[in-house]
Amino acid sequence: MNTPDFIRLTLTAITAHRLRTALTVLGISIGIAAVVLLTSIGEGIHRFVLSEFTQFGTTIIGINPGKATTAGGSIGVFGTERPLTIDDALALQRIPNVQAVVPVVQGNAEVEAKGRGRRTTVYGVTSGFPEAFRFDTAIGKFLPADDPQAPRALAVLGDKLRTELFGNENPMGQRIRIGGDRYRVVGAMQPKGQILGFDLDDTVYIPTRRAMQMFNRESLMEIDVMYREGTAEKIIVKDIKRILQARHGKEDFTITTQQQMLDVLSSVLNILTFAVGALGGISLLVGAVGIATIMTMAVRERTAEIGLLRALGAHQKQVLTLFLGEAVVLAAIGGFVGLAIGVLGAQLLHMALPAMPVHTPWIYVVFAEALAISIGLLAGVLPARHAAAMDPVTALRAE
Amino acid sequence: MIELQQINRIFTVGDQQVHALDHVDLSIQSGEYLSIMGPSGSGKSTLLNIIGLLDRPTSGTYLLEQHNVTSMNDDTLAHTRRNKIGFVFQFFQLLPRLTALENVELPMVLEGIPPAERRQAATETLNTMGLGERLHHRPDQLSGGQRQRVAIARATIMKPAVILADEPTGNLDRHSGKDVIELLEQLNKTNMTLIIVTHDPEIGLRATRQIRMVDGRVMEDNHKR
Ligand SMILES: Nc1ncnc2c1ncn2[C@@H]1O[C@H](COP(=O)(O)OP(=O)(O)OP(=O)(O)O)[C@@H](O)[C@H]1O
Ligand SMILES: [Mg+2]
Residue nearest atom 3 of ligand 1, based on CA coordinates: B11
- Any domain includes A68: no
3-state secondary structure at position B172: coil
Regarding whether A270 and A244 lie in a shared domain, the answer is no
Q: Tell me: do A214 and A351 sit in the same domain.
A: no
Q: Rg of the Cα trace of chain A?
A: 33
- A223 and A284 assigned to the same domain: no
Number of C-beta neighbours around residue A373 at 10 A: 17
Residues in contact with A114: Cβ distance below 8 Å, sequence separation at least 6, in sequence order: A165, A166, A174
Q: Which residues form the domain of A95?
A: 82-251
Q: Are strands B162-166 and B193-197 parallel, antiparallel or unpaired?
A: parallel
Buried/exposed B173-195: b ≥16 CB within 10 Å, e otherwise: eeebbbbbbebbeebbeeebbbb
A71 falls within a domain: no
In this structure, are A111 and A241 located in the same domain? Answer: yes
> Is residue A194 in a domain?
yes
Establish if A316 touches chain B: CB-CB under 8 angstroms. Answer: yes
Is A129 a member of any domain? yes
Give the domain-ending residue among A251, A280, A309. Answer: A251
**Same-domain status, A123 and A245:** yes
Positions in chain A short of pLDDT 70: 68-81, 195-197, 399
DSSP A121: E
Average pLDDT, chain A: 88
Interval between CA A392 and ligand 1 midpoint (Å)? 15
pLDDT per residue as tens digits for the range A121-161: 999 999 999 888 888 899 999 999 999 999 999 999 999 99
Q: Indicate the residue among A251, A284, A315 that finishes a domain.
A: A251
Position A63 in a domain = no
Q: What are phi and psi of A151, to 5 degrees?
A: -80, 160
**Same domain, yes or no: A119 and A212:** yes
Shared domain check, A268 and A233: no
CB contact under 8 A, B75 and A307: no
Return the pLDDT at A71: 47
Report residues of chain B scoring pLDDT below 70. Answer: 225
Q: Could A312 and B87 be called an inter-chain contact, meaning their C-beta atoms sit closer than 8 Å?
A: yes
| Cβ-Cβ contacts under 8 Å, A310 against chain B | 54, 78
Note whether A269 and A359 are within 8 A (CB). no
Q: Residues near A213 by Cβ (< 8 Å), separated by ≥ 6?
A: none
pLDDT at B122: 96
Contact B151, B93 (CB under 8 A): yes
Same domain? For A240 and A372 the reply is: no
Q: Same structural domain for residues A315 and A293?
A: yes
What is the spatial distance between Cα B183 and Cα B189, in angstroms, rounded to a whole number? 10
Of all helices (H) and strands (E), which one includes residue B210? strand B209-214
- For residue A283, the tally of other CB atoms under 10 A from its CB is 19
Strand partners, B26: B4
Q: How far is A393 from chain B (nearest CA, A)?
A: 6
Q: Is residue A77 part of a domain?
A: no
Contact A399 B91 (CB under 8 A): yes
Domain ends where: A225, A251, A277?
Answer: A251
Contact B55 A12 (CB under 8 A): no
Residue B33: helix, strand or coil by DSSP? strand
Residues A105 and A240 in one domain: yes
> Is residue A101 located within the same domain as residue A7?
no
Q: Which residue of A has its CA nearest to B98?
A: A12
The protein residues having their C-beta less than 5 angstroms from ligand 2 (an ion) are B 45
Assigned domain for A34 exists:
yes
Domains along the sequence of chain B with CATH: 2-223 (3.40.50.300)
ipTM above threshold 0.90: yes
- Residues in the ligand 1 pocket, defined by CB under 6 Å: A 394; B 11, 13, 18, 20, 38, 40-46
Q: For residue B172, how far is its CA from the centre of ligand 1 (angstroms)?
A: 22
Cα angle A105, A109, A115; round to 5: 140
Comparing C-alpha atoms, which of A4, A44, A11, A13 is closest to residue A343? A44
Residue ranges in chain A assigned as alpha helix (H): 3-15, 18-54, 86-92, 129-133, 159-166, 208-214, 233-248, 258-301, 303-311, 316-352, 362-389, 392-397
Same structural domain for residues A278 and A142? Answer: no
Model's pTM, two decimal places?
Answer: 0.74
How many folded domains does chain A comprise?
2
Q: How far is CA A329 from the centre of its chain?
A: 35
In a domain, A119, yes or no: yes
Measured between its terminal Cα atoms, the distance across chain B in Å is 20
